[in-house]
Structure 1
Amino acid sequence: MSTRPTAGSGRATDSEAVCGARPREIGIAVTALSPRAAPSSEPNRPDPRLGSYSDAPVHVVTPCQDDPVNTIAGIRWVVTGAAGNIGVALRRELRAAGVELVSTDVRDVEAIDGTGDRVTVADLLDLTALTAMFDGADGVIHLGGLSDEADFHDLAEVNVVGTYHVLEAARRSGVRRVVYASSNRVTGMYSTDTLVDADMPARPDGFYGVSKVAGEALCRLYSDKFDLSTIALRIGSYEQQPSTPRERATWLSHRDAIAAFIAAMTTDEHHAVFYAVSANSESWWDRTAGERVGFRPMDDAADWNIPGDTIEPQGGPFATPSYSLDRMRD
């Protein structure tokens, strides 16, 4: 094991790419797609939602016969960052749909069940271990890494080199597809009156966003050069419900998050980048690329009538100089 900071050392404040960063555990009762049971605070903002979500409402959407979820039973997927918020919720849904899982993180992972979820502790810097783990898998969902701003050297090692190892291990193992958890923070420096699409130049709002831009570039390279299918999700603010002015535009509901990942797993596209964000009335990101891969979100932050003005640019407080400088090592 490496002695570098684990994914648990970063502060998960805007949980677009929650991934084993020791985020608050969830106990939600959210059903994304029947018949199965279906993080991102503003920095330094007290969050009353810490703790269990066991009283959350249940949302049920009955799938049509050609629902993509009906095509994934019996296949095997590896999930990195499996102990994080999204990892736990997604694995629960995938197991309910009959997907065989290999769940890995840098910390202990609790299995969803005792039959189809093999759990293991592994480091993203161990290419040999990843290659062996990926053998026989149909795909990899890469959630692992540091999930917020940190010292650049740590981000480069964990998020950039770690993502390279995931892609290279997938190539060596003959994996068909890697689904990469990117972040909306790759374009956080655009103004809030700009509708950003996935083909526009990256304008990251910090070093964390830079690490995700590098991850997306690696995905593009492996698709173009090595014929590995890669689908990158620029994840919005993953919350049970929106609670800040920024989240009126960036909110990603739990059930829409599940739908985004299933779309990424099942699309016919060889390579794609899209924003995983709910169908919010206030929108900063074009959802056309998501529609092309079959992602059709259902929830809208406007239903919560959140007051207040947003902070420029789109990254809001994450885009301030202090948010990066305070996390640098001397």
Structure 2
Amino acid sequence: MRILITGAAGGVGTLLRPRLAKEGRVLRLLDVTPLEAGPGEEAVTASITDEEAMAAAMDGVDAVLHLGGHSLERPWAQILDVNVNGTYVVLEAARRAGVRHVVLASSNHAVGFAPRGEGEAPDYLFPRPDTFYGVSKVTKEALGSLYHDRYGLAVTCLRIGSCFERPRDVRMLSTWLSPDDCARLAEAALAADGFHVVWGVSANTRRWWSLEEGRAIGYEPKDDAEVFADTLVAEHGEPDLGDLPHSVVGGAFCGPHYDVDNLTAEG
């Protein structure tokens, strides 16, 4: 089996690379940053916006894990070119190559302005993006839906929370996706049929995002950010759930720092 991983040099791609390595599996790693291929790997230096390069990269591929694109907020033109058009290029190349399974890295920022309710934030929560970056994730999900309904691709969209080796602040006690759980989620998504939108989050004690749809496709998280709680709470204090980082899905991305005028001023 050969899996194409776009954005393989990024944070999530770097964490997943050793965890997705398996006997009989080839990981084709694609990024604009040159990578050195190890055993069971192939490296491709290309942009996801390059139609010819993406068509070539799909040769012999069984499934795609699309992580490529800007991972933080950028001016609209950059988001449009790389995140939105790049996703179209990837999906169209996959369709033309006959690839059946595509996993799209969405984000909690696709629904960032959704407020914290009394229960869990449900699967398939209606889009309320908090940034242009968030809009690109909504568009990624929409393109995935189109390519599933019109062309029959099996597409799973992962609304990833905070994927790091360990949670970095008290907000991440709720939103953390451990690298090992990220790999478990990716494996389940790469095998899932149909179209799905699932939360990318671990089995955190303080989690308030649903795991129902993830479990429906075979994802069973095993990690809990609470093992880091004592250290983080001692440093930052217990979170006030009424404060912005905790009261909406997107946290600080919903704040004024991400207003377009501020973004333009920062270049």
Q: Is the TM-score greater than 0.5? A: yes
Alignment of 1:152 onto 2:80: no
How far apart are 1:313 and its partner, in Å? 2.1
> Any residues of structure 2 matched to 1:309-320 within 5 Å, and which?
309-310=240-241, 311=244, 312-320=247-255
How many pairs were matched up?
A: 253
**1:327 match:** 263
**1:77 match:** 3
- In the alignment, the residues of structure 2 paired with residue 302 and residue 93 of structure 1 have an alpha-carbon distance, to the nearest angstrom, of 23
Q: Structure 1 residues 275 and 188 mapped into 2: Cα distance closer, same or farther (>3 Å)?
A: same
**1:198 match:** 123
Alignment of 1:125 onto 2:61: no
**1:33 match:** none
How far apart are 1:151 and its partner, in Å? 0.6
**2:89 match:** 165
AA aligned opposite 1:239: F
Given candidates 183, 186, 195, the residue that maps to 2:110 is 186
Can you list the C-alpha shifts for 1:18-55, whole angstroms capped at 9, x where unaligned? xxxxxxxxxxxxxxxxxxxxxxxxxxxxxxxxxxxxxx
- In the alignment, the residues of structure 1 paired with residue 172 and residue 116 of structure 2 have an alpha-carbon distance, to the nearest angstrom, of 12
How far apart are 1:112 and its partner, in Å? 2.9
How far apart are 1:103 and its partner, in Å? 0.9
Runs of 5+ unmatched residues, structure 2 = none
- In the alignment, the residues of structure 1 paired with residue 133 and residue 111 of structure 2 have an alpha-carbon distance, to the nearest angstrom, of 11
- In the alignment, the residues of structure 2 paired with residue 102 and residue 270 of structure 1 have an alpha-carbon distance, to the nearest angstrom, of 24
Q: Alignment partner of 1:242: what SS? A: coil
**2:151 match:** 226
**1:239 match:** 164
Q: Which has the higher helix share?
A: 2
- Normalized against structure 2, the TM-score is what? 0.90
Q: Alignment partner of 2:20: what SS? A: helix
Preserved CA contact (<8 Å) 1:146 1:155: yes
How far apart are 1:265 and its partner, in Å? 1.1
AA aligned opposite 1:132: A
Runs of 5+ unmatched residues, structure 1 = 1-74
Preserved CA contact (<8 Å) 1:145 1:158: yes
- In the alignment, the residues of structure 2 paired with residue 324 and residue 265 of structure 1 have an alpha-carbon distance, to the nearest angstrom, of 36
Aligned-residue sequence identity (percent) comes to: 41
RMSD: 1.6
Q: Alignment partner of 1:233: what SS? A: strand
Can you list the C-alpha shifts for 1:264-297, whole angstroms capped at 9, x where unaligned? 1122x22111001000122221111101111111
Given candidates 128, 135, 160, the residue that maps to 1:210 is 135
AA aligned opposite 2:165: Q
> Any residues of structure 2 matched to 1:290-301 within 5 Å, and which?
290-301=214-225
AA aligned opposite 1:315: G
Preserved CA contact (<8 Å) 1:152 1:328: no
How far apart are 1:97 and its partner, in Å? 4.2
How far apart are 1:253 and its partner, in Å? 0.8
AA aligned opposite 2:146: L
Q: Alignment partner of 1:144: what SS? A: coil
Preserved CA contact (<8 Å) 1:149 1:324: no
Q: Alignment partner of 1:252: what SS? A: coil
Q: Structure 1 residues 328 and 90 mapped into 2: Cα distance closer, same or farther (>3 Å)?
A: same
